Structure 1
Amino acid sequence: MRHSIFLFALLVTLGFGVTSCDTYLEEEPRDLVSPGNFFNTSSEFELAIVGIYDIYKDNSLHGKIGLDRYYENGADVIGPNRVFGQVEPTQSYSLSESNIGAIDQGAGAPLTWQNLYAIVLNTNSILDQLGANENISQEEKERFEAEALFLRAYAYYHLTNLWGDVPYYRDFLPIEEIQMLPRTDKTMIRDEILVDLQQAQDLLPSSYETNDFGRASKWTAATLMVKIYLIQQKWLEARDKAVEIITTSPHDLLEDYAAVFAPDNEYNQESIWEIDFIKDTNSNDWVDHFTPRIRDEPKDPSKQDALSAALAERNEGFTGYGLAIPLPDYVNKFPMDDLRRPSNITTEYLGFELNFAYMPKMWNLDQINSPRGNHGDNKIIFRLADVYLMAAEAENELNGPAAAYQYINRVRERAYEPDQPLAGLSQEDFRQAIYDERKWELGGENHRRMDLIRWGILLDVVKNTEYRIYDPASNIQPHHVLLPIPPEELQLNPALLESDPTNNGYR
């Protein structure tokens, strides 16, 4: 029997590594060690939880630009500087059932779907075994349960964002049953994972010791709740949960915006959750997509050798792919007096005028400690500035801007010198200010496209944005707010088309 979901036992036998598509699609479930034979001791459950985090480091999720492709590409912040093969149907809105599998095959949508459901399957197995286990303490059981609930909820968060209604299950089911599941309404899924996230928040620690940095805390779960509440337009719940994080958590805004992203300042006070990468062990290459490549630079080609020499003197290099860079629209509209601009946009380096604009808060030029393809830079998933802006948005939608200024202006304090606090705005004006403030504060950080979708303005924004090489305004259609379910999944499970024969409007 062929299936497209990892079995946890397979991950165990391979040291929690992600196997190739050809390998796991051909495995027979009965040939694998039963997960029930594995979970007995605390250390075994610990290894199982760590294995889930490792899946999130896969190229189809956070290790490369798997999720970035869907949450940033095709919005109004970043894009490519050149045409590069089949990687960009999401950017140009030429996406279809036929080309979704061709998107960067090591990190494309089919693997994103499969890995998210691998997480669902594996967390269900962990939760199932926790319920029957009598060998670990109640305290340990609650900790493992809380992490599993969060990690599963985070998977369903992405599944519903990218595909809308999706198969949903909470028990450890046989593969045969999983492959027959129809799609479940996304609202029901979100309502139920909100309950799970509240339980996770109640049980997870507020912070971790050094060795456990990178694990989800109670504030990680709470931040995900705020994001889901905003999608559902539950403004009161979103505001209250965001304020709870602001007033109760140990997190605070850093005084220096650039310091938030410094490679030597990981797990800083502003960071709520980071995906932890380690050079030579489980490194990433998402940084390379933001780092310039020397073939493109500088603007004056005759100075390329001089630029290379200047970089070498600093043990630096333009060795990246130079693909994810600020769009002209973003460069032209970003306020010139905003102190965040140098971290989000640079058009010169070491005195050389560059051919393209880049986002230096995301790049890493260090060739000694962080060579190409072997970066230990963590991926920031949630940080407190985002929570402040979500609190401001929810408060404005509830009661207008009067009490919302305190949250947005707290973020703006470090963005301008002297301060430029907002005041005297109507509710609609404040709403527009939030649209912009999130763009300047969080550009390139995997929030923009989902923001535009939940605000209902993605199509309008795309049609009015200046792009470098593509013309997505001519292609974008209302159904592009979601992805098509990959064709191989439809072949394995025809029930996926029962509630929507159009496959999210792509047929």
Structure 2
Amino acid sequence: MKTKNIYLFVFIIFTIVSCEKFLEEDPRAVIAPETFFASDNDARQAIQGTYAILKNNSIYGQVGLDHFYDNGADIIEPNRPANFVQPIGDYILDEALADVSVQKMSVSDTWKDLYRVIFNANFIIDRVTDNEAILEEVRTEVIAEARFLRALSYWHITNLWGNAPYYTEALTLDEVRVLGRTDEATILEGVIADLQFAQGVLPSTYPDDQRGRASRWAAAIIEAKIYMKQQNWQAGLTKCLEIINESPHVLLPTYEEVFDPANEYNAEIIWSLDFARDIEGIFDPAFPGRSFAGNNSWRPSMFNPRLRDEPANSDERGALREALSARGEAFNGTGLQVAAKDFAETFPLNDLRRPLNIVDNYLGFELNFPYMAKFWNLDLATSPRFNHEDNRMVFRLADVYLMAAECENEANGPGGAYQYIEPIRQRAYATQAEWELVGLSQQEFREAIYDERKWELAAEAHRRYDLIRWGILFDVMENIEYRFWSPAQNIRPWHVLLPIPLQELEQNPALLESDPTNNGYR
């Protein structure tokens, strides 16, 4: 049973954030500005509070980043028209729609919260550096973790907006609000420097009471992904092999085990954010109208079915409810993240991963929509609606194996790449005749990677990023049939990036100086 300790602390005069200590439950007093960073514990609390921002609905708490990395691709879609995912999924987003927020989820919310992480990380680094009230070992550790969180945020920002404001000093909010955009290549140079520093300091593993913090391997996988985006295949391969050969992480025997809610810290998971139920969001008085998601996750409710939609034969709804109740379960989700029509129709029938990604019959009842059971938690006792304790998986080792396979193929051809894709396929099929790949050309292996990443990492916030870096987003979307959307009619070349939200442009006209088109949306 996971528990949490929630702190409130003041970040000088600029922001107040919620803070968790990973596995305790004992509220503490507010720390005054004049005493803040006066001890090792103060510095560690500051880092924990910055992790809390990542749990907001706009980032990892619900489907904030999923909007950009999965919607508008070929894996998930809502089971009905839904305003909060349609602008991106249907490619009708504009500057004004980027400001529309539902449950603290919008382009604007994600922009603000990623920059809040950066603001806090810079502030922590400034206050900890050369602070003799804090042990040198703790200073180094805290700075490394702050630099990781800053790098993570800038990585997401460059993926979503390309060129963007970039700063690594403890600026005031007024100073931040007049920054123009820095080119993406320069930002990524700084990101890699931060990630490399973090890898030199962060531990390989954490004790049980600190699980949820990012290890050196979380920093390593982001660095590898950046090299791949830059098509620096050898550097990407080297970093992937470092993770495979030197980290404590291993592939689990079966796909199903990876997503077992009773084993959320299994050996395949490189990093996941720790959540617990019954801990509500905390109001943030420094930013009126906004609050933190707290430690209870909303995301499983987005993937859980909604009973009013099921089963296919509505006359059997009562029987389905009774069958679920007998198991201590309920269809009490929203159904707003289901397997896309094309994804469900093309997922190989003999793939052992299919039952975790495509559920169209449950307890003998035929369902209207195909659901993704690997993100389900129907248990009423441990996972009530919008109050789940399920962790949010961010990175896992299977991704790294497929990254290594891609890097090897791009650098040297497929000959040496089979060894990295085969472990993933071996657990996905019952026989060697099904999983084995032989005699592929470089292009054929490249296309095999396209498919393998689709099936293995479905709805884990990778797909749209992959399609964009492969340069095939438009080709794929032109041939996808959705239930309610028509992205092929709407998608345009500039949709590989998001617009900077209108309210940000109004507050800071400097954001348009280097690009008056706002990533093509003007």
- With structure 2 as the length reference, what TM-score do the two structures score? 0.91
Corresponding residue for residue 186 of structure 2: 188
Corresponding residue for residue 451 of structure 2: 436
Corresponding residue for residue 106 of structure 2: 108
1:260 to 254, 258, 279: 258
RMSD value over aligned CA atoms? 1.7
**Preserved CA contact (<8 Å) 2:63 2:299:** yes
Q: What is the CA distance between 1:120 and its match in structure 2?
A: 0.6
Equivalences for 1:347-496 in 2 at 5 Å? 347-419=360-432, 420-496=435-511
Q: Tell me how far apart the structure 2 counterparts of residues 377 and 9 of structure 1 sit (CA, whole Å).
A: 33
Q: What secondary structure sits across from 2:393 in the alignment? A: strand
Q: What secondary structure sits across from 1:357 in the alignment? A: strand
Equivalences for 1:39-78 in 2 at 5 Å? 39-78=37-76
Superposed CA deviations along residues 78-120 of structure 1, whole A, max 9, x for unmatched, are 0011112354111110101121112525211111111111111
Which structure 2 residue ranges, 5 or more long, are not aligned?
1-8, 21-30, 280-294
Q: Tell me how far apart the structure 1 counterparts of residues 276 and 89 of structure 2 sit (CA, whole Å).
A: 30
Q: What is the CA distance between 1:8 and its match in structure 2?
A: 3.1
Corresponding residue for residue 25 of structure 1: none
- After superposition, the Cα gap between the structure-2 partners of 1:417 and 1:87, relative to the gap in structure 1 and judged at 3 Å, is closer
1:274 to 272, 275, 295: 272
Q: Tell me how far apart the structure 1 counterparts of residues 86 and 301 of structure 2 sit (CA, whole Å).
A: 17
Equivalences for 1:138-149 in 2 at 5 Å? 138-149=136-147
- After superposition, the Cα gap between the structure-2 partners of 1:191 and 1:425, relative to the gap in structure 1 and judged at 3 Å, is same
Letter in 1 for 2:223: M
Q: What secondary structure sits across from 2:12 in the alignment? A: helix
Name the % identity. 52
Q: Tell me how far apart the structure 2 counterparts of residues 421 and 358 of structure 1 sit (CA, whole Å).
A: 28
Q: What is the CA distance between 1:137 and its match in structure 2?
A: 2.1
- After superposition, the Cα gap between the structure-2 partners of 1:437 and 1:15, relative to the gap in structure 1 and judged at 3 Å, is closer
Q: Tell me how far apart the structure 2 counterparts of residues 387 and 298 of structure 1 sit (CA, whole Å).
A: 38
Corresponding residue for residue 246 of structure 1: 244
Q: Tell me how far apart the structure 2 counterparts of residues 36 and 71 of structure 1 sit (CA, whole Å).
A: 41
Which structure 1 residue ranges, 5 or more long, are not aligned?
1-5, 18-32
Q: Tell me how far apart the structure 2 counterparts of residues 411 and 64 of structure 1 sit (CA, whole Å).
A: 28
Q: Tell me how far apart the structure 2 counterparts of residues 123 and 52 of structure 1 sit (CA, whole Å).
A: 7
Q: What secondary structure sits across from 2:140 in the alignment? A: helix
- After superposition, the Cα gap between the structure-2 partners of 1:13 and 1:334, relative to the gap in structure 1 and judged at 3 Å, is closer
Q: Tell me how far apart the structure 2 counterparts of residues 35 and 404 of structure 1 sit (CA, whole Å).
A: 54
Superposed CA deviations along residues 358-413 of structure 1, whole A, max 9, x for unmatched, are 00001111111110011000010000000000000011000000111000011111
Corresponding residue for residue 235 of structure 2: 237
- After superposition, the Cα gap between the structure-2 partners of 1:309 and 1:121, relative to the gap in structure 1 and judged at 3 Å, is same
Letter in 2 for 1:309: E
1:312 equivalenced with 2:325 (yes/no): yes
Equivalences for 1:148-163 in 2 at 5 Å? 148-163=146-161
Letter in 2 for 1:384: L
Q: What is the CA distance between 1:167 and its match in structure 2?
A: 0.2
Q: Which moved more, 1:208-217 or 1:103-112?
A: 103-112
Q: Tell me how far apart the structure 2 counterparts of residues 337 and 347 of structure 1 sit (CA, whole Å).
A: 16
Q: Tell me how far apart the structure 2 counterparts of residues 501 and 7 of structure 1 sit (CA, whole Å).
A: 37
Corresponding residue for residue 172 of structure 2: 174
**Preserved CA contact (<8 Å) 2:14 2:173:** no
Give 4+ residue runs of structure 1 displaced > 4 Å after superposition: 10-17, 33-37
Superposed CA deviations along residues 17-66 of structure 1, whole A, max 9, x for unmatched, are 9xxxxxxxxxxxxxxx9968521210000100000110000011111111
1:340 to 336, 341, 353: 353
Corresponding residue for residue 28 of structure 1: none
**Preserved CA contact (<8 Å) 1:88 1:103:** no
Q: Tell me how far apart the structure 1 counterparts of residues 313 and 462 of structure 2 sit (CA, whole Å).
A: 34
Q: What secondary structure sits across from 2:416 in the alignment? A: coil
**Preserved CA contact (<8 Å) 2:40 2:134:** yes
Total equivalences in the alignment: 488
Q: Tell me how far apart the structure 1 counterparts of residues 407 and 330 of structure 2 sit (CA, whole Å).
A: 43
Q: What secondary structure sits across from 1:93 in the alignment? A: coil
**Preserved CA contact (<8 Å) 1:46 1:144:** yes
Letter in 2 for 1:211: D
Q: What is the CA distance between 1:252 and its match in structure 2?
A: 0.2
